[in-house]
Structure 1
Amino acid sequence: MTNDVIALTRAMPDLPTLLTGLYAGGPELGVNSLAGGAVVQLCAPDGRPLVSVEAPLLVQVPGETTRLLGRTGREAPVWWTEARASTSSSEAGRLAGSFAGRLATVLDGAVWPPGAATTDVVPLTTDVSAVPVPTTGTPSVDVLTPTTAVVIQDRPLVPLTSWLSDALRAAAESERALQMVTPPTARLTLPTRTALHGLPNRWVVQDPDHGYYDGLSGAVLHWKDGTFTPVRDENGKASAAGAFTGASVGGERQLLLTLRTRHAPDADLVLGRSLESAFRCLTGGPPAGWSTAEPVNLRWSTRELTDLARARAPRPTWLVVVGSPDRPAIATVRVLRTSAGVEEDVTVAFGYGEGEHPPVDSLPGLAAELDAGHGLVTLLASLRAARRDLTVSARLEGPPLPVTFALGRAEGKRLGHTAEAVRHYRLGDGTDAAAWGRFRDLLARLGLQGEASGQAG
């Protein structure tokens, strides 16, 4: 049974309804709260948390529940109340299911996964005080060692929820790695993949036939000294798991854009317009919604996005943005105040099925629009053979291959290049691996060698 259970309801769960759900374990269990009441916990008699419930979230973005959970019969607008069961008790999963089932029954809602829903009282029989799970202060962390925070996930698609974001932040602040363990059937959303890509963080796949391996690199892993590390031979070389083989995606492809814009930090600045221009150019419409985690719950608004970033300045702001259900698209945005101005680092992916053609011919026009009105610094477009739904499986995937690169006028002038318009360079057709060499040579000529770092991921 999954550790996460979600109640989807039309009405917001009020306090009496939440208390009805929390009575799932009977009167012997206690209730605690974290984060100023944003998280409520159902606790064992000794205070050990069994189920952690996050404050209900109003999801207003069409298609978001289907994207993350499959068809549930409940679409936006819907209240999303997520409960996470501790792994310290065999009853915790059933307690979470009973909590969600009670909410759905009172508010005529639905529960994901459907088989988890009950309204039974689940008595605690496990002696949780005998289970050596430390109190971490972060509900999503299952195991904590001096070097590593381990999160166990058993859901088909793992989004970058606020639970997981909090775990990543806490791990980074304590100088620990965040390692997420899933079964081999699990997939990641692109924001989750981005968060776990690169050391010290790691996606750990637990395969019943092949042991542990890295879901992004395929390296065989073992648990050693309180962390998952690669198994190395006498020469110090790691090997790839046999289960980590290329998965056929037919004719499915993804168009990936990595763009940077820079703006003067004036009072009239509105952020998000460069990303909106990319969506309109390549999909025919604006993004559907934005948020600071998944599920994406807020309808698209550049003004509200700007207000949030301004309120957080000078701290950076990280956001996730999704498109409409008919055209898979997802982006991450990082807004950063630097000595040069306000910068937006954007990575966006668009999915295409067999017979659909990524609109690469529209890229020069998009680059010109971004340069003329949105402070374009650089724009790299790549193609890769990968799933149309933009999710990531624990299988070998080929790297994205560069198609075009654009250099904005302002950046060109900063580097000493004279130009009256954006510079646009064609690198390949998305099938030629030699395009990476041409890209690196181009950056060397332009004086932008550092821009290639990380693009092959």
Structure 2
Amino acid sequence: MTKDVIALTERMPDPLSVLAGLLSGGPDKLVGALGDGAVVQLCDEQGRPLVSVEAPLLVEVEGEAERLLGATAPPVPYWWTEARATTGVEEAERLAGTFAARLATLVGGSAWPPEAARSLAVVETEGVSVAPAPAAAQPAVDVLTDKVAVVIQDRPVVAMTAWLSDAFRATAEAGLGLQIVSPPGSTLSPTVRDSLGSGWRSRWVVRDERDGYYDGRTGAVLAWQDGMFAPAATSTATSIDSPDATADSAAPQPSLAASFKEVAEFRERQLALTFRCVHPADDRLVLGGALESVWRELTGEPPAGWGTAEPANLSWSLRRLTDVAYERAPEPTWFVVVGRPDRPGLATARVKRTKAGVEEEITLAFGYGADEEPPLETLPGAAEVLATRHHLQSMLIQIRKARRDLAVPPRFEGPGVPLAFVLGAEEVRELPGDRARRTPLDRPPVPLGPKTRPALYYPLPGDPADLSGWRDFERLMRHLKGA
């Protein structure tokens, strides 16, 4: 059963409307608040939360409800209000559904998923027990051990919501891994995949009929053992409901889940760019210009929207993005940026202050269908714009066979292959002699910008069916580093 219920409404839920929704639990339920009122909780008589409701979010960007929920939202702008029920309590899940249904009825709109928000009746909750603290203290966390925090997400796309962002932050500060459990039909947003990183404790755990559980990124069959999901010694995993169960130690190594190995032939492709710009620290600095310039070069238009979590709720604005980064300084700021529904595009940007200045680290991807050609001819021009106007340090461009919608499935996907590497003008100047220009590659680099101080664009094979391009890339990196 779903743990998250979302109301998509035409008007902002006012306090009376929210209160009417919360009272769906009956007069014996209490209302509390966390995070200076950003999260409102419906609690039992002992103060333990049954349903946690986040502050309504105004969404100005088209396509986010369709991308993340597969739902049809009201015309923009509309309000997105999330309610999360305490895991394992059926009445709590019904409370969340009733809350969303009442909210949608009172202020106009709909609730997702539709089957979770059908009833407006008061939910009987006599004798209900809820998840014990400290797991319930963090609304997004369902199971907490001394090794990991486990989050159960029954959504079409597991996205970097404000709930999940808080869970990532809390587990990092506590030195814990984060493990996300989802049903087999779910996909990951690239933002979540990248945030999971390579930590051995943090995983995407997919429930599976044949193998129990497996890692959605590596395919390793998993078992719940020693307080976390870890690779199982056999192809049969145990349940999270049996924390004391261990895998058969006789098997020599983990196996791959059968579902993960069912590879689909993709005719769709993704074009991915990862680059870093280092700007001189200046009060007049406007952030986001590098990303907007590349977006325009590759699509002919600017990004559609941005935010500090998903859904990306704000219309694209360099000034508003810069203001948020300045308000959070000297702490780093993370943004997600999205494109229009007809041209799938998603980027993450991390802005931080360093001794070198203000750094923007950006990962950007666009999706293309079988009948669409990625605009490869525009890449040198995009690189030149970054090098001449936005203090580009370096950039790697890749292409891969993968889904047009950019979602990450729990199946094997081939890696990207490098199309080009770009070295910024300052980095070229710092290399001794002609090292940057004379490389072991078959094709010479293409100079970008002024002849007296160019950046260099290194073309690479870029065939999605041929991974040998990585050998050329490695040879180039070793050469540039003087190895």
- 2:264 is aligned with 1:248: yes
**C-alpha separation between the residues in 2 aligned to 1:261 and 1:272?**
10
Deviations 1:108-135 (A, max 9, x none): 1111111111211111145306x55644
User: Given residue 421 of structure 1, which amino acid in structure 2 is its aligned partner?
Assistant: P
Q: Indicate conservation of the 8 Å contact 1:409/1:423, yes or no.
A: yes
Larger Rg: 2
User: What is the total number of aligned residue pairs between the two structures?
Assistant: 448
Q: Indicate conservation of the 8 Å contact 2:135/2:143, yes or no.
A: no
Once the two structures are superposed, the pairs formed by residues 411-450 of structure 1 within 5 Å of their partners are 411-416=427-432, 420-431=453-464, 432-447=466-481
- 2:135 is aligned with 1:101: no
Q: Indicate conservation of the 8 Å contact 2:49/2:136, yes or no.
A: no
Change (3 A) 1:196 1:77: same
Once the two structures are superposed, the pairs formed by residues 32-111 of structure 1 within 5 Å of their partners are 32-111=32-111
Partner in structure 1 of residue 208 of structure 2: 207
Change (3 A) 1:167 1:73: closer
Once the two structures are superposed, the pairs formed by residues 1-400 of structure 1 within 5 Å of their partners are 1-117=1-117, 118-128=119-129, 132=132, 134-199=134-199, 200-232=201-233, 237-400=253-416
Q: Secondary structure at the match of 1:79?
A: strand
**C-alpha separation between the residues in 1 aligned to 2:407 and 2:266?**
15
Q: Indicate conservation of the 8 Å contact 1:261/1:378, yes or no.
A: yes
Q: Indicate conservation of the 8 Å contact 2:65/2:73, yes or no.
A: no
Q: Which of 420, 425, 446 matches 1:404?
A: 420
| TM-score (norm: length of structure 1) | 0.95
**C-alpha separation between the residues in 2 aligned to 1:69 and 1:194?**
20
Structure 1, unmatched stretches of 5+, are: 450-457
Deviation of 1:430 after TM superposition, in Å, equals 2.9
User: Given residue 469 of structure 2, which amino acid in structure 1 is its aligned partner?
Assistant: A
Q: Secondary structure at the match of 1:286?
A: coil
Q: Indicate conservation of the 8 Å contact 1:290/1:296, yes or no.
A: yes
Q: Indicate conservation of the 8 Å contact 1:66/1:75, yes or no.
A: no
Change (3 A) 1:448 1:105: farther
Deviation of 1:235 after TM superposition, in Å, equals 7.6
User: Given residue 102 of structure 1, which amino acid in structure 2 is its aligned partner?
Assistant: R
Q: Indicate conservation of the 8 Å contact 1:50/1:88, yes or no.
A: no
**C-alpha separation between the residues in 2 aligned to 1:23 and 1:78?**
24
Q: Secondary structure at the match of 2:180?
A: strand
Deviation of 1:237 after TM superposition, in Å, equals 2.8
**C-alpha separation between the residues in 2 aligned to 1:179 and 1:205?**
10
User: Given residue 16 of structure 1, which amino acid in structure 2 is its aligned partner?
Assistant: L
Q: Secondary structure at the match of 2:18?
A: helix
Deviations 1:344-378 (A, max 9, x none): 10000100000111111111111111101000111
User: Given residue 388 of structure 2, which amino acid in structure 1 is its aligned partner?
Assistant: A
**C-alpha separation between the residues in 2 aligned to 1:120 and 1:414?**
70
User: Given residue 382 of structure 2, which amino acid in structure 1 is its aligned partner?
Assistant: L
Greater Cα offset, 228-237 or 433-442: 228-237
* RMSD across aligned positions (CA): 1.6
Q: Indicate conservation of the 8 Å contact 1:246/1:397, yes or no.
A: no
**C-alpha separation between the residues in 1 aligned to 2:471 and 2:175?**
35
Q: Secondary structure at the match of 2:125?
A: coil
Q: Secondary structure at the match of 2:458?
A: strand
Question: Hey, which bits of structure 1, 4+ residues long, moved more than 6 A?
Answer: none
Q: Secondary structure at the match of 1:433?
A: coil
Q: Indicate conservation of the 8 Å contact 1:72/1:112, yes or no.
A: no
**C-alpha separation between the residues in 2 aligned to 1:252 and 1:126?**
52
Greater Cα offset, 163-172 or 303-312: 303-312
Deviations 1:118-158 (A, max 9, x none): 211111145306x5564442101001111110000111111
Q: Percent identity?
A: 53
Q: Indicate conservation of the 8 Å contact 1:68/1:157, yes or no.
A: yes
Greater Cα offset, 406-415 or 369-378: 406-415
Q: Indicate conservation of the 8 Å contact 2:428/2:454, yes or no.
A: no
Q: Secondary structure at the match of 1:101?
A: helix
Q: Secondary structure at the match of 1:445?
A: helix
Deviation of 1:249 after TM superposition, in Å, equals 4.9
Structure 2, unmatched stretches of 5+, are: 234-248, 435-451
Deviations 1:233-256 (A, max 9, x none): 658532211111243253101000
Change (3 A) 1:345 1:68: same
| TM-score (norm: length of structure 2) | 0.90
**C-alpha separation between the residues in 2 aligned to 1:68 and 1:243?**
23
**C-alpha separation between the residues in 1 aligned to 2:68 and 2:226?**
35
Deviation of 1:448 after TM superposition, in Å, equals 8.5
Q: Indicate conservation of the 8 Å contact 1:197/1:216, yes or no.
A: no
User: Given residue 475 of structure 2, which amino acid in structure 1 is its aligned partner?
Assistant: D
**C-alpha separation between the residues in 2 aligned to 1:399 and 1:55?**
39
